[in-house]
Structure 1
Amino acid sequence: MKHIFKEGESLDSPTLLLLHGTGGTEEDLLPLVDYIDPTANVLSVRGNVSENGMPRYFKRLAEGVFDEEDLIFRTKELYEFLDQAAKDYGFDRQNVIAVGYSNGANIAGSLLFHYQDSLRAASLHHPMVPRRGIDLPDLSGKGVFIAAGTNDPICPAQESEDLKAILSGAGADVKLHWESQGHQLNLGEIKAAQDWYQQLD
């Protein structure tokens, strides 16, 4: 998968897995590192799927309707890529913290839904519920931050509440943060994510 890796202060530091929104690239979320943890390793990955020339992490059938078969395949692909990247670059595979926006938040959420050991924690900005009606792994000890918009036209407020409930039900420690800025990534939620990150165990 096309990506950027930047070593932080130490390979033992947390590794921030940056996952862009639809139409983005592996460059998009790099500025967030300065807010969240300038000392962290950074692994920023471009989605392998193209929708009308726009990079994404998995296919969709319509706005808000995921291609579940492709989602499962692409989640496994990303999970295996993380395993290999940890070997190639030498970072701690057990200390990967995802920072995802929109489509990137959805694939990060899907990692949590499908693989217990995929992430240590995740900061999900404007995510949806990746899949419904499945049993999640035990997510005890996993921290999850969800940034949602009260007037988000793409991701209804109930979607965010449902995601929090599902992840909490699997044992994750979930913080749901609300903004009134629609679907865009904004400074208020980035600062809230920074505060959440600094309180992680």
Structure 2
Amino acid sequence: MDGLTDAPPAPLVALLREAAGEPEGALVLLHGRGADESDLFPLLDLLDPGRRLLGVTPGGPLHLPPGGRHWYALGGIPTPDPETFLGTAPRLAAFLDALPVPMERVVLGGFSQGAVMSWAMSLRPDRPAPAAVIAMSGFLPRVDGYPLDPARLAGVPVAVAHGSLDPVIPARFGAEAAETLAAAGADLLRLESPVPHMVDPAWLDPLREVVERATTL
């Protein structure tokens, strides 16, 4: 067999924002469908203005219509396409495991598809729990063969932010995630505002507090 066929997948691309000094942790933000690793990069300074943390914005490995990068192909809500989701998840897990900061010092978050992947990385029973989770305008994924255990985030700061006017991923999916994690004992912050599928600037101050609280030594 051709050796190229057996080669492991290429590592994910990513943008890095160095910490001002020795990093006290990391802030990893995952973009939404059709965007790329530059999309959420400006949020690193807004959520960690003191640059205490290593900032990382990886790009999804898939290039699909209508363009940009994707974490998985659309399969419905809340059911990502299983083949592409199950192909991407281990690649993202390997990327996170290779960070120079242990997962218990990593705030993991994302928008839309990025929020879905944040849940996938944080709730899988065999994954290390992060320092905190920030899920903006996403949903808890339901994929056969990919278990989720919300109890793993008991006591962990979790922020769920969603626009009540979201026409892409209805707000009820954010509410479901918030209610599920609250019932599991997570330290929950729920944010909802009358905006469509977007990051509301009104969320930034409370999310910054979550990042700081979760990573202060």
* TM bracket (short chain): 0.7 to 0.9
Partners of 1:57 and 1:103 within 8 A in 2: yes
Structure 2 partner of 1:55: 69
Task: Identify the range of structure 1 (32-41 vs 165-174) with the bigger mean alpha-carbon deviation.
Answer: 165-174
Structure 2 residue 199 is matched with structure 1 residue 189:
no
How far off its partner does 1:113 sit? 2.1
What's the CA shift string for 1:4-28, capped at 9, x where partnerless? 2232033441211021111111111
Partners of 1:94 and 1:117 within 8 A in 2: yes
Alpha-carbon distance in structure 1 between the residues aligned to 2:213 and 2:130: 17
Q: Per residue, is there more strand in 1 or in 2?
A: 1
Change (3 A) 1:149 1:34: same
Unaligned runs of 5+ in 1: none
Aligned residues: 197
Give the TM-score normalised by structure 1: 0.86
Structure 2 residue 53 is matched with structure 1 residue 43:
no
Partner of 2:33, secondary structure, is coil
Alpha-carbon distance in structure 2 between the residues aligned to 1:70 and 1:112: 19
One-letter identity of the residue aligned with 2:24: S
Partner of 1:31, secondary structure, is helix
Alpha-carbon distance in structure 2 between the residues aligned to 1:14 and 1:190: 19
Structural RMSD (CA): 2.2
Tell which structure's C-alpha radius of gyration is larger.
2
Choose which of 61, 68, 82 in structure 1 pairs with 2:82: 68
Structure 2 partner of 1:157: 171
Partners of 1:12 and 1:92 within 8 A in 2: no
Structure 2 partner of 1:91: 101
Structure 2 partner of 1:81: 95
How far off its partner does 1:117 sit? 1.0
What's the CA shift string for 1:66-125, capped at 9, x where partnerless? 1134323322221111112x2xxx334431111311111111111122144142211111
How far off its partner does 1:165 sit? 2.1
Structure 1 partner of 2:33: 22
Structure 2 residue 79 is matched with structure 1 residue 101:
no
Report sequence identity in percent. 23
Structure 2 residue 174 is matched with structure 1 residue 174:
no
Alpha-carbon distance in structure 1 between the residues aligned to 2:162 and 2:37: 22
Partners of 1:59 and 1:67 within 8 A in 2: yes
Give the TM-score normalised by structure 2: 0.81
